[in-house]
A and B are shown apart, each in its own frame.
Chain A
Amino acid sequence: MKMPVPDSVVIARRREIVEALRAIVPGEGVIVDENELRAYECDGLTAYRQLPMVAVLPSTVEQVSQVLKTCKAMGVKVVPRGAGTSLSGGALPLADGVLLGMGKFKRILDIDYANRCVTVQPGVTNLGISNAVAHEGFYYAPDPSSQIACTIGGNIAENSGGVHCLKYGLTTNNVLGLEMVLMDGTVIRLGGKHLDAGGYDLMGIVTGSEGLLGVVTEVTVRILKKPATARAVLLGFPSSEQGGDCVAAIIAAGIIPGGMEMMDRPAIHAAEAFVHAGYPLDVEALLIVELDGPAAEVDHLIDRVEAIARDKGACYARVSKSEEERLAFWAGRKAAFPAVGRISPDYYCMDGTIPRKALPLVLQRMQEMSDRCGLRVANVFHAGDGNLHPLILYDANKPGELEAAEAFGNDILRLCVEVGGVLTGEHGVGVEKRDLMTDQFDEADLQQQQRLKCAFDPDGLLNPGKVFPTLHRCAELGRLHVHQGELRFPDIPRF
């Protein structure tokens, strides 16, 4: 994985750049000390590290605007950063770039129950929004597993999901309004407290753009009333195929559960050893199906799900009888990553989405790959929406194992695309999957996306080296080859 070659001319101008930033953000808001910069050298994808040239921590929109405008004028690259929990390297710094930390934007600006929305600064954590409205029985639906730490600004950049997104949507389905600053310092506002922003759906493009289009400075999200009840069923199957069939049958019956998670045998064993959730150990696939809503509905659906599961060959079924038991069912699933971390010195978490029907084939092919490369794999699966998280077990201290794990991971993601799926369901492309983009997209697809980037950032200064495997100049992308009069189309019916 190569990052763009650092521009030595820019690095040589470091002192001048730092002075320009200090003129905008006073005092400790500009960080140059190597030890302090260490805090920013990587994000959640810790295999890649790079010290930024300088970090700047603005505290007002005006400062963000000035920083971007100044960097553009000086031709300096900028990497925006929220809490730094990205699992795909979206906030990996550049040696010749300014790291723009949004951590000082921590205020909740407006809680508006009458319009069922909350307006916050981007540095507020995902859970912070839910906590702020919990006393009124509301919450913010997308719940990435990093929700204690990750910020809403980062959620916008990555279009974050969570275990409840089959029913409640990803970030993009829950955002009403944004304020953002473009690379030239222009501040724009999209949407608000109303539905459907006027004009082009730029909010739809900005959400999930991985910090390549602008820096978000304010976010309005919709909040939902907490479901009256939630109960979960734990189902065990003799094969992952039967587990997959059960998921398909639940959905075919018209049921969209609040959460539907599957784990394979290695993941079940690791989780059980870690948190003693009471999982059955003699099954090949474990399914947690959570139904939420009014009590009458939940009771009705629990019965139906149990009946479907029996029909599909479940060899184990347990319905939560109390809130403690429901949470215990989830405790194992939620601890799956650290649980795997206990049985292996390191693990590498993948994030492809597949058509659910391809699950047995994908699991089988993955096992073959695992046997071939000698690295174990455990699987947790957002079964409702086909989002697969294979965890590859390796030891970074053994020479070559990291590389082998990465190669294995790449093969898994190529397999996801091959069966009709995609490279990433919720973690983003970042640097991690950048070079696999050509497996999913043709050159024409990628060039059109890059032209869109040019509309926001014509000099390519915002977060370069992420998402797109090849950097093109906007002038080159915009060139149009038209051959006058060369084309005749006798085949097309005309009227």
Chain B
Amino acid sequence: MTITTLKPESAVQAVDAVRWALSAGEPLEILGSGSRRGLGRPVQAGHALDLSGLSGVIAYEPEELVLTALAGTPMDMIRSMLAERGQHLAFEPPEGGTLGGLVASGLAGPRRISAGSARDHTLGIAGISGRAEAYKGGGKVVKNVTGYDVPKLMAGSFGTLTALTEITVKVLPAPEDTATLLLFGLDDAAAVAMLDRALRSPYEVSGAAHLPAGIAARSGTSAVAGAGGAVTLVRLEGFGPSVAARGTMLREELRADSVLGRDESRAVWREVRDGVGLGVGSDAQLWKLSVPPSAGPSTVEAIRRTLDVEAFYDWGGGLVWLTAPPDSGTAIRSALSAGGHATLVRAPEAARVATDVFQPLPEPLMALSRRVKESFDPKGILNPGRMYAGL
């Protein structure tokens, strides 16, 4: 329903745009490249604030492990700049979009279990509150406890608190080598138990996923697709001699069936990061459930009692990717008895209005969240409704 898009070319212009929206009482949809518009509830706003014009890396100092860029900087540009110096964003975010969009959506990939999420790597921010005030939070060094950790609050706030204009992230050396141990034919419970064993080992596992048969068959990696059944994956990363040594020991300990070398390993974990094509080309809606790792299989089992779903596991069982028929939110969430939350990550717009995209919060927490929103955006002009109706 966007009527007009404002596209500032500087942070000063962006402040002006928010000031106008505030004075006119006109909510804004905050956009980077717009690549994640389908994530979250549709924003009810007559105007968009397109921040893709605020683009460019301001400072990148590999030895200091920090990079500062304008929020609209394309992630592809940042990725290739880091790769040239052998570095990366350790939380393994999905590709595409802008830095601002990435932080705002708070995403992370398989390495979440060992390296943390977007929140753990967002060191500093500058942005514009819903009061049309430019402010900054955090810092530009890797270790800082001065004042509240505002950058963490920005991660995963989907632009509902602040229109981000500049971000400092922690960057880290990318692993020199990687290998993936494969175990074939395990059922969900046995697989997660095996992932638990791997994660309890001292071998610094940085990826722990399980693909049931139907999903493994769809992998573009021949060793996985050709296994003829379920495939359990355990990733090791680091310096060459270390990966080799740990691989040998862990392979023996887990009695793994096969090992993927560097290139195949990288390819398969990109697939896991992006959902292994789950639900693509069907009407099914895609969910991500974050649960205690050991409760992954029993949660899926409980959901299967009432719904026809397809699921696979990452994060050692703690992340469940799941496709379900429309209107399954209540059934899925009632299965989370061990704790955790469910997010609807792909569904048509109408479904994202009708279903709670993010896990509804208990009332005391919702009330606090509303007050937090008000403290940044008292008139509700920044991405209203993107996370929760009325927030």
Contacts and interface: CB of A to CB of B under 8 A. Distances in A.
Interface string B13-28: 1001101101110000
B350 interface: no
Interface in B357-391: 358-359, 361-362, 364-366, 368-369, 371-372, 374-376, 378-379, 387-388
Contacts of A354: 141
B86 A451 contact: no
A297 interface: yes
Nearest to B8: A492
B116 A448 contact: no
19 contacts: A114-B294, A116-B293, A173-B116, A192-B292, A195-B112, A195-B290, A195-B318, A196-B117, A200-B161, A202-B365, A297-B239, A297-B242, A442-B135, A452-B376, A454-B375, A455-B371, A487-B16, A487-B19, A493-B53
A161 interface: yes
Contacts of B203: 294
Contact of B145 (A170, A441, A486, A495): A170
A357 B64 contact: yes
Given A187-B364, A204-B119, A426 B146 contact: no
B141 to A, nearest CB: 5
Given A137-B202, A495-B7, A423 B146 contact: yes
Given A428-B145, A437-B147, A487-B23, A201 B134 contact: no
Contacts of B129: 448
A299 B241 CA distance: 9
Interface in B274-317: 290-294, 315
Interface in A173-225: 173, 182, 186-190, 192-202, 204-205, 207-209, 225
B96 interface: no
Interface stretch (B69-77, B151-159, B213-221): B151-159
Given A199-B359, A254-B86, A452-B148, 16 more contacts: A116-B200, A189-B362, A194-B291, A195-B315, A204-B153, A207-B149, A421-B141, A424-B144, A424-B146, A444-B133, A448-B150, A456-B368, A478-B378, A484-B23, A492-B17, A494-B4
Contacts of A256: 172-173
B244 A296 contact: yes
B361 A198 contact: yes
Query: B interface, how many residues as a size bin?
Result: 35 or more
Contacts of B379: 480, 482
Interface residues of A, number: 108
Nearest to B138: A422
Given A116-B200, A195-B315, A494-B4, A445 B293 contact: no
Contact of B147 (A113, A165, A172, A441): A441
A254 B176 contact: yes
A226 B141 contact: no
Nearest to B49: A492
A467 interface: yes
B5 interface: yes
A143 interface: no
B141 A300 contact: no
A209 B148 contact: yes
Contact of B364 (A186, A357, A426, A484): A186
Given A116-B200, A201-B119, A445-B137, A188 B364 contact: yes
B264 interface: no
B375 A205 contact: no
Contacts of B6: 489, 492-494
A252 interface: yes
Interface of B: 4-9, 13, 16-17, 19-20, 22-24, 50, 53, 61-66, 85-86, 106, 108, 112-113, 116-117, 119-120, 129, 131, 133-137, 139-150, 152-153, 155-157, 161, 172-174, 176, 196, 199-204, 238-239, 241-242, 244-246, 249, 290-294, 315, 318-319, 338-341, 343, 358-359, 361-362, 364-366, 368-369, 371-372, 374-376, 378-379, 387-388
Nearest 8 pairs of A and B residues by beta carbon: A204-B152, A297-B242, A296-B245, A254-B173, A198-B341, A455-B371, A193-B292, A248-B63
A387 interface: yes
A306 interface: no
A225 B315 contact: no
Nearest to A250: B63
B41 to A, nearest CB: 13
